Structure 1
Amino acid sequence: MTERTTPAASGGSLWFEAWLRFRRNRLAMIGLVMVITVILVAVLATWISPYDPLKQLIWTEGKAVRLASPSAKHWFGTDLYGRDILSRIIFGARISLQIGIFATLVSLVIGIPLGALAGYVGKWVDDLISWLVNVVFAFPFLLFVLAVVAVFKDPSLVVVYIAIGMVNWVSIARVVRAQFISLREREFVEAARALGMPSWRIIFVHILPNALAPVIVQATLGMGSIIMIEAGLAFLGFGAQPPTPSWGLMISEGQKYLGQGQWWWAIFPGLAIMYTVLAFNFLGDGLRDALDVRLKR
């Protein structure tokens, strides 16, 4: 007599096979290396930064260093206040990753339970949650975040985390709902119901582990979007406030000097944003291809 296992029981082998598929994807591995690089830069910022990102260097060795062009002493140049651009970009990685991670956690905390309830219970609960999702989707994403942040006169980074997470949860909820609708009638769920297990245990122990793969993909792809939104908020003055080394804030401060030849103040932070967003997009696409069993050869 052969032993029957649920999808969750064979999760170890499925995750190992997914890793093998992920490792064969060159763009995915490149994205993984790029993401690890950004994380290391953020973690080691204190030790690898050549200057204090907040220190204003007006004169050095008898020479003015305000808006100094890239050189051997300041690889990415300096800003109007003599602050080293490279050092501020290195510390700015911390702000971007913090907002990306914590805003994603907020969206997961809101989106997973609501999506699970909508997909598992169905009926009027599904209708109510789906209506709420559609209402949030009806508003432009950035404008909705701006409305939440604008309520506070001096929004802190925590407010930005929560504001972005309060908007970003809808995509997570939709993915979780779709997975629960497809899994709630499976044999292992029917067996759990027949054994008299409570609904909360069926949802979080039996169904949710089997629905995590697309959630992980959605969260990873969403990280790049969240970093872009944070940069847009900072550019508009609703994110990190001066003198915090934020990439979006640096672009906002330096964009007026682009026409005067001081291009480095805005260009290098923009390249940092592009690098980070591209890294998470490569990683998310690779995870999607690796975790989608329909793509298994």
Structure 2
Amino acid sequence: MQSEEEKKLAEIERNETELDSLVENADEQGTVVGFAVIAREFKKDKLAMFSLGLLITMLLVIFIGSFVLFDQSEVMKVSILNRYEAPGAEYLLGADEGGRDVLGQLFIGARNSIIIGFSVTILTGIIGIGLGIISGYYGGIIDNILMRIVDFIMVLPTNMIIIVFVSMIKDYNIVSFVLIMSAFSWVGKARIFRSRTLSEAERDYVNASKTLGTSDFKIMFREVMPNLSSLIIVNSTLNFAGNIGIETGLSFLGFGLPPSVPSLGTLIGFATSPDVIENKTWVWLPASILILVLMLSINYVGQALQRSADSKQRLG
């Protein structure tokens, strides 16, 4: 037969297990309810719903069209005889200075710009959010070291450094360009999520988890991070638009993707002479309109999500 002490220990362990289960279920239910509130508030904004629908439609058309209708090697073949050919039956949006199909470059270039923006957003999110949560959770010397690194990177002229690296690397491609951009673009996220984690780390559910002996890793990424989910979504959406804009700007200046790889920035970059700007608008105008509509749609969706997240906080 078990002694009284063994029975008490078994009962304590059972109670701790039940309490752990209740805490996890409460966190999961809280996250689900939070998303439901955000979705409900977002649906009330008709312009945001239109922007989201337009954005999804553009993404589907761009990716399906770029993979199904066009081959990059064929699109980028130079045909001097068709130099600056006006829009017509053969080239629906005309041809550029190398006789290359502008429509094909528009589809493939938009796909490349979106892939770069999305990839940079994911990489900077993993680094910035992870380090921000770690810094805010532990505080002390770890926080001081990480924040001094962040401060140092933030004062650097990031775009100039990216230009230098792109100029130094031979045969760079989309992957290397994404890595260069990501290496200097995560610091803003780290600072934002560090400040939010500092306040979350003082809340009762974190103290209760520490008392129960839950590991720091589980507390940070299974309990604290889900409570920052609305901020993650909003911040990532707005950064997605910003990263597309940075890539477009660098490619426009000639420090983005290689000339053999089309992007929205390289198409807009053709507008460098008065003759092209005034008389050959088919070369650069479609890309300019597409990047404008794309950026406006993403930004408005991000701002609507931010308003919805603020409503969730007010409603609890």
Q: 1:146 to 1:56 in 2, by over 3 A?
A: closer
**Separation (CA, whole Å) in 2 of partners of 1:296 and 1:143:** 44
- Per-residue deviation at 1:94? 1.2
- Per-residue deviation at 1:201? 1.0
For 1:236, the equivalent position in structure 2 comes to 253
For 1:148, the equivalent position in structure 2 comes to 165
For 2:135, the equivalent position in structure 1 comes to 118
For 1:99, the equivalent position in structure 2 comes to 116
- Per-residue deviation at 1:57? 5.2
- Per-residue deviation at 1:192? 0.3
**Separation (CA, whole Å) in 2 of partners of 1:8 and 1:191:** 16
- Per-residue deviation at 1:237? 2.5
- Per-residue deviation at 1:207? 0.5
- Per-residue deviation at 1:223? 1.0
Q: After superposition, give the CA deviation of every residue in 1:135-187 in whole Å (9 maximum; x if it has no partner).
A: 22212332232233333133211111111112221121122112211111111
Gap runs ≥5 in structure 1: 60-64
**Separation (CA, whole Å) in 2 of partners of 1:58 and 1:296:** 63
Q: 1:147 to 1:243 in 2, by over 3 A?
A: closer
For 1:47, the equivalent position in structure 2 comes to 68
**Separation (CA, whole Å) in 2 of partners of 1:42 and 1:294:** 36
- Per-residue deviation at 1:66? 2.3
2:97 matches 1:77 = no
For 2:174, the equivalent position in structure 1 comes to 157
- Asked if the contact 1:30/1:282 (under 8 Å) is kept, the reply is no
2:206 matches 1:186 = no
Quick one: percent identity of the two aligned structures?
A: 29
- What is the aligned residue count? 290
Q: Give the 5 Å matches for 1:217-232.
A: 217-232=234-249
Q: In structure 1, the residue corresponding to 2:262 is in which secondary structure?
A: coil
RMSD (CA atoms): 2.4
**Separation (CA, whole Å) in 1 of partners of 2:232 and 2:160:** 25
- Asked if the contact 2:271/2:277 (under 8 Å) is kept, the reply is no
Q: Could you tell me the TM-score, scaled by structure 2's length?
A: 0.84
2:262 pairs, out of 229, 232, 245, with 245
- Asked if the contact 1:252/1:266 (under 8 Å) is kept, the reply is yes
Q: 1:150 to 1:242 in 2, by over 3 A?
A: closer
Q: Could you tell me the TM-score, scaled by structure 1's length?
A: 0.89
Name the larger-Rg structure. Answer: 2
**Separation (CA, whole Å) in 1 of partners of 2:278 and 2:34:** 56
- Asked if the contact 1:175/1:214 (under 8 Å) is kept, the reply is no
- Asked if the contact 2:270/2:276 (under 8 Å) is kept, the reply is no
- Per-residue deviation at 1:48? 4.7
**Separation (CA, whole Å) in 1 of partners of 2:286 and 2:162:** 26
**Separation (CA, whole Å) in 2 of partners of 1:57 and 1:109:** 43
For 1:274, the equivalent position in structure 2 comes to 292
- Per-residue deviation at 1:11? 1.6
- Asked if the contact 2:237/2:302 (under 8 Å) is kept, the reply is yes
- Asked if the contact 1:107/1:172 (under 8 Å) is kept, the reply is yes
Query: What is the identity, as a one-letter code, of the residue corresponding to 1:213?
Result: S
